[in-house]
Structure 1
């Protein structure tokens, strides 16, 4: 796969520092449009549709390493020096690979809802994905997913459109690989300051790995959103945007996030 084949949404100030936005599994670059609108006066923003997703659905998902390589090539081609990067879920899992393989490309990072080690019940999650993926694009399954993620009614049609663009095979592969990924947190040598964030009700394994890594990686932090799960950003996008402003612009810390 050539990085030039990926669909990339690009906006903002061309000569400014670049933020790379990496979406979650089943979604696409559309999930970042509100963030980009809030930040593109200060940054050059690029948001690719990952392989098998959105307008890159004609490109099959390969594996985490190869997709990270393509994101690195995209960064080299489009960025102005070292970049900031933010990723949710699958996108966050890819950031672990970027921090490991391409530290010279990354200035600061935000990893949301992506564990550095397999979460408890990961095998069950993977089994569930494999069983339900044939029905992924049905109205019933999309409604179930939207309800579980807390998608607002006014955003349901956009969510449905994103799901119906995804390749079922790529969805299965990406979800399986992300849930199996394991970082050696105790011997981590990442150097880019990283903010780790999650919903309070997410896996204890995720919370623990975030806390360990935030202490291992210089100038890093971690926090959680109270009383919410994996998709807390959906119900409070403004707090998520404020997190980006805090980490990338030294703005005020989001009041709704809590430190461990």
Structure 2
């Protein structure tokens, strides 16, 4: 797994969504203070890790556990978007001693209806992702800033059908692990005001399952918070890191 590690002392692991890679955190990273040590992987199957297909959430969580132990042995603040947010939930649930705080952005935790037909359509459409015109249309729909289009187009051309189907299958079938309710750290759950109902239902479910967590609806945002409003992500991370430093 390719990992971009920054300087600084306060470790923050940043997990991207499906169809993109670590570059999606560029707007957020630009706003973080110099004390933050960003740990930004390209998850299996995506970006510079495209040659190693995505297999499952569980296999990826095991790889991420090793990443944290190597680069932040005392634990890291973890922020994840979409698929990466589901991985954040699993890390907090399974290895809470390595997760100082969890910032969960647009995590689908209520299974989508009719996963079979959805995956069937995706299998048929997968070859289109390699077509520039289709990828550009997707970039517009996803709210990707024009200065990051080159990265998105590159990822679209290199993401395999195997990775797309495996990652989306895991994503749309995801449910909260029972141990999520036992996570002892601080957690923020963010959802865009313009996201679909399933995402709002998921955000409410995720928050209600963990007493003491914070639920924040980001006005004006759709399924693009780290790209359209990185300041709100940085604000939550700053709060999480401050809480960690002042904990009893």
Q: TM-score, normalised by structure 1?
A: 0.84
Q: Aligned pair 1:179/2:172, yes or no?
A: yes
Comparing 76-85 and 240-249, the one that deviates more: 240-249
- Please list the CA deviations of residues 63-97 of structure 1 after superposition, one character each: whole Å capped at 9, or x if unmatched: 11111011001100111412100001110011121
Cα contact 1:17–1:80 (8 A) shared by 2:
no
Paired residue for 2:121? 128
Q: Aligned pair 1:82/2:79, yes or no?
A: no
Cα contact 1:198–1:223 (8 A) shared by 2:
yes
* CA distance, structure 1, for counterparts of residue 44 and residue 120 of structure 2: 22
Instruction: State the Cα distance separating 1:242 from its structure 2 match.
Output: 2.8
Q: Aligned pair 1:18/2:11, yes or no?
A: yes
Paired residue for 1:98? 91
Cα contact 1:116–1:182 (8 A) shared by 2:
yes
Cα contact 1:185–1:209 (8 A) shared by 2:
no
Instruction: State the Cα distance separating 1:230 from its structure 2 match.
Output: 1.1
Cα contact 2:79–2:102 (8 A) shared by 1:
yes
Comparing 56-65 and 178-187, the one that deviates more: 178-187
Q: Aligned pair 1:8/2:19, yes or no?
A: no
- Please list the CA deviations of residues 134-185 of structure 1 after superposition, one character each: whole Å capped at 9, or x if unmatched: 1111112101211211223333223212322322311221111111111157
Cα contact 1:11–1:40 (8 A) shared by 2:
no
* CA distance, structure 1, for counterparts of residue 59 and residue 177 of structure 2: 20
What SS does structure 1 have at the residue aligned with 2:138?
helix
Over 3 Å counting, the alpha-carbon distance change for 1:88 and 1:105 in structure 2 is same
**Unmatched 5+ stretches in structure 1:** 1-5, 251-260
Q: Aligned pair 1:232/2:218, yes or no?
A: no
Task: Report the count of equivalent residues.
Answer: 243
Q: Aligned pair 1:116/2:116, yes or no?
A: no
Paired residue for 1:253? none
Instruction: State the Cα distance separating 1:125 from its structure 2 match.
Output: 4.2
Paired residue for 2:246? none
Instruction: State the Cα distance separating 1:54 from its structure 2 match.
Output: 0.8
* CA distance, structure 1, for counterparts of residue 121 and residue 234 of structure 2: 31
Alpha carbon RMSD of aligned pairs, Å?
2.3
Over 3 Å counting, the alpha-carbon distance change for 1:34 and 1:80 in structure 2 is farther
Over 3 Å counting, the alpha-carbon distance change for 1:150 and 1:197 in structure 2 is same
Cα contact 1:119–1:203 (8 A) shared by 2:
no
* CA distance, structure 1, for counterparts of residue 222 and residue 180 of structure 2: 28
Paired residue for 1:66? 59
- Please list the CA deviations of residues 2-23 of structure 1 after superposition, one character each: whole Å capped at 9, or x if unmatched: xxxx11001021xx22100001
* CA distance, structure 1, for counterparts of residue 167 and residue 14 of structure 2: 17
Over 3 Å counting, the alpha-carbon distance change for 1:43 and 1:153 in structure 2 is closer
